[in-house]
Amino acid sequence: MKNLALIVTSASLVAFLTACSPPATDETADDFVARANSELKELRKEVGAADWEWRTNITEDTAAASARANEHYAEWHSSMVAQSLQYDGQELAPQTRRALDLLKLGTTKPAPNDAAKRKQLSRILTDLASMYGEGKYCRNDGDCLSRPELEDIMAQSRDYDELLEAWQGWRTVSPPMRDKYQHFVELTNEGARELGYSDLGAMWRSGYDMSDADFQQEASRLWEQVKPLYEELHCHVRAKLGDFYGEDKVPQDQPIPAHLLGNMWSQEWGFIYDIMEPYPGESDLDVDRTLKTKAYSPQEMVRSAESFYVSLGLPRLPDTFWERSMFSKPPDREVACHASAWGLDGGNDLRIKMCIKQTYDELRVIYHELGHNYYQGAYKDQPPLFQGGAHSGFHEAIGDTVTLSMTPGYLFEVGLVASAAQSREAVINRQMMRALDKIAFLPFGKLIDEWRWDVFSGEIRPADYNKTWWELRTRYQGIAPPVTRTEADFDPGAKYHIPSNVSYTRYFLARILQFQFQRALCAVAGHEGELHACSLYGSKEAGARLQAMLEVGQSKPWQDTLEKLTGTREMDASAIIDYFAPLMAWLREQNKGRSCGW
């Protein structure tokens, strides 16, 4: 559905850009920042509207319109960054300096200051995203399967060969992306160097209010905190898969075959819970059955998530959210089904884009996506340059924190499960369910950008893209491809965030921060007892603390914002260990006598 109030035509934007004359010699830094915020507000309207049209109706025309809008933004951004350099070395107010620094980081895909190259980059990005969004695996009989259909096979099938076909099938989509991706790296690295960074990876890492070296050390420290729990989980999962498929298919001293973990990318393993369930039938956590039995519509599933946020004292979503969001896959056109939250018009026009199915997994995704919307709505009164998460991990962590409150007690209270039983066996079951997603994800969340950082720096050559991808996946995750992969493949491109150029470190940090946020907010809510049993549902005190943090946006260093919520200025993964303490003890007991590691 078009948002006619927001769409700025290409012609009007050209006129707008033409009107953006070079600054007068007496323009102060404060005046420059005010002008940048004013122009950025208008540009975001056009880019957001064009991107929404394209993602919800993938055609040549909408792709071209999106490419043009992003090209216009890239032109404006290059010009404004060049103008901002005149203020380097000047003594400025802290907020002015922060705004100038954030302006420089105002794109994840910096374009060279050359019109032809900007056009090339915009087209490449559009092509890559379209190739992913429209990708299908076609069998020899002519039957073609979309990514969601292949994902369903990965989640539901327990046939080794069927899983292998689906896994290989989706990876036929990505080899044509390789040359385009290589050119994308060359162009964005050139753009990053023009902004003063050694490469695009260095530019991304500079957005964390600390030095490049300190940030990489911090990411490694956080991983080391949680690595022992992941290793125990991996050991147990491999043993159970060996029992299920046979140790000839799952050797007990080797990495796990990547297609057996219930997910197309082996990033989250929750869909194999039926194989992993520690105590079968202990407590009713079958939310899927309730959603189907009660015939929840996609809108009703979203209303359920909204009600949680409202219980914290946060406002209801605006009427336009319900009018303009995409909740289901339209039957008459190609769309990008990958779930996303949109804060168009500076957060005044909130939407989500999903192809919702009646599953608990999808319900949790909805709760997560609304976390983005509530963050966007909370900081909408900040200047455009400050409209963002304290750092990228914060934005992902908000909705994830809320999903931690989807305890059996909460699910029972809102009628999604039949029992709130919390026997010790039920606790272990629930912790296993959560760990298969949240703990299994951690090494995957870390390695995606490690691969890209080395690609951007040139340490990984194009001729080694696939080889190093699998080296990292094996080293961090302990998984391996089920069949031989070569440089004729481009398996990184089979993951949405690579062709769409979305940084992934945010997801790793979010999986850390959500437990830290939860521990702090549960203390505010007055929770007593084990951390895993805490639900924030109905706590206005926790909601007020959360809202106060959300409103700050990106106006302050993340350390200040973290302290506002948690009382500490350092990210800390110890809350994960606290949360999963029962499961960790159980896993260690189960793994006695097993040969762990890979």
Cβ proximity of 138 and 173 under 8 Å: no
Indicate whether 8 pLDDT > 80: no
Cβ proximity of 219 and 508 under 8 Å: yes
Cβ proximity of 536 and 312 under 8 Å: yes
Characterize the bridge pairing of strands 144-146 and 136-138. Answer: antiparallel
pLDDT digits (tens, 9 = 90+) for 169-178: 999 999 999 9
What confidence category does residue 26 fall into, taking pLDDT thresholds of 50, 70 and 90?
A: confident
- Give me Rg for the CA atoms of the chain: 24
Indicate whether 165 pLDDT > 90: yes
Position 586 scores a pLDDT of: 98
Phi/psi at 577 (nearest 5 deg)? -65, -40
Enter the tokens of residue 83. Answer: 């103008």
What are the residues whose beta carbons fall under 8 Å from the beta carbon of 104, sequence distance 6 or more? 81, 84, 195, 196
Enter the tokens of residue 402. Answer: 């809320």
Cβ proximity of 347 and 6 under 8 Å: no
Cβ proximity of 368 and 403 under 8 Å: yes
Helix (H) or strand (E) holding 136: strand 136-138
For residue 421, give the 3-state DSSP assignment.
coil
Rounded CA-CA distance 423/27 in Å is: 67
pLDDT digits (tens, 9 = 90+) for 44-66: 999 999 999 999 999 999 999 99
What's the burial of 322, exposed, middle or buried (CB within 10 Å: 0-12/13-18/19+)? middle
Enter the tokens of residue 502. Answer: 């979305």
Report the candidate in 478, 493, 55, 503 with the shortest Cα–Cα distance to residue 230.
Answer: 478
For residue 257, give the 3-state DSSP assignment.
strand
What confidence category does residue 78 fall into, taking pLDDT thresholds of 50, 70 and 90?
A: confident
- Average of per-residue pLDDT across 125-132: 92
Report the candidate in 482, 495, 486, 477 with the shortest Cα–Cα distance to residue 160.
Answer: 482
Position 319 scores a pLDDT of: 97
What confidence category does residue 22 fall into, taking pLDDT thresholds of 50, 70 and 90?
A: low
Cβ proximity of 376 and 541 under 8 Å: no
Q: How far apart are the first and last CA of the chain?
A: 50
Enter the tokens of residue 239. Answer: 């043993």
Rounded CA-CA distance 301/322 in Å is: 12
Phi/psi at 500 (nearest 5 deg)? -90, -5
Question: Got the DSSP string for 335-385?
Answer: ---S-EEEEHHHHTEEEEE----SSHHHHHHHHHHHHHHHHHHHTTTS-GG
pLDDT digits (tens, 9 = 90+) for 179-216: 999 999 999 999 999 988 999 999 999 889 999 899 99
Indicate whether 579 pLDDT > 80: yes
pLDDT digits (tens, 9 = 90+) for 276-323: 999 998 866 789 999 999 999 999 999 999 999 999 999 999 999 999
Rounded CA-CA distance 536/530 in Å is: 14
- Average of per-residue pLDDT across 510-539: 96
Rounded CA-CA distance 578/519 in Å is: 9
Helix and strand counts by DSSP (H, E) for the chain: 25, 6
Position 284 scores a pLDDT of: 64
Phi/psi at 250 (nearest 5 deg)? -130, 80
Report the candidate in 87, 108, 283, 260 with the shortest Cα–Cα distance to residue 197.
Answer: 108
Rounded CA-CA distance 163/161 in Å is: 5
Cβ proximity of 497 and 182 under 8 Å: no
pLDDT digits (tens, 9 = 90+) for 471-485: 999 999 999 999 999
Rounded CA-CA distance 35/25 in Å is: 14
Position 11 scores a pLDDT of: 41
Rounded CA-CA distance 397/562 in Å is: 12
- Average of per-residue pLDDT across 359-371: 95
DSSP bridge pairs for 326:
353
Cβ proximity of 8 and 49 under 8 Å: yes
Position 4 scores a pLDDT of: 31
Indicate whether 29 pLDDT > 60: yes
What are the residues whose beta carbons fall under 8 Å from the beta carbon of 224, sequence distance 6 or more? none
Chain centre distance of CA 563? 23
Alpha helices in 253-329 (DSSP H): 273-276, 287-293, 298-311, 319-324
Tell me what the pLDDT averaged over the chain comes to.
92
Enter the tokens of residue 212. Answer: 């490049």
Cβ proximity of 70 and 47 under 8 Å: yes
Characterize the bridge pairing of strands 479-480 and 256-257. Answer: parallel
Cβ proximity of 308 and 405 under 8 Å: yes
Enter the tokens of residue 542. Answer: 């926790």
**Of the candidate ranges 67-81, 355-369, 542-556, the one whose mean pLDDT is the lowest:** 67-81
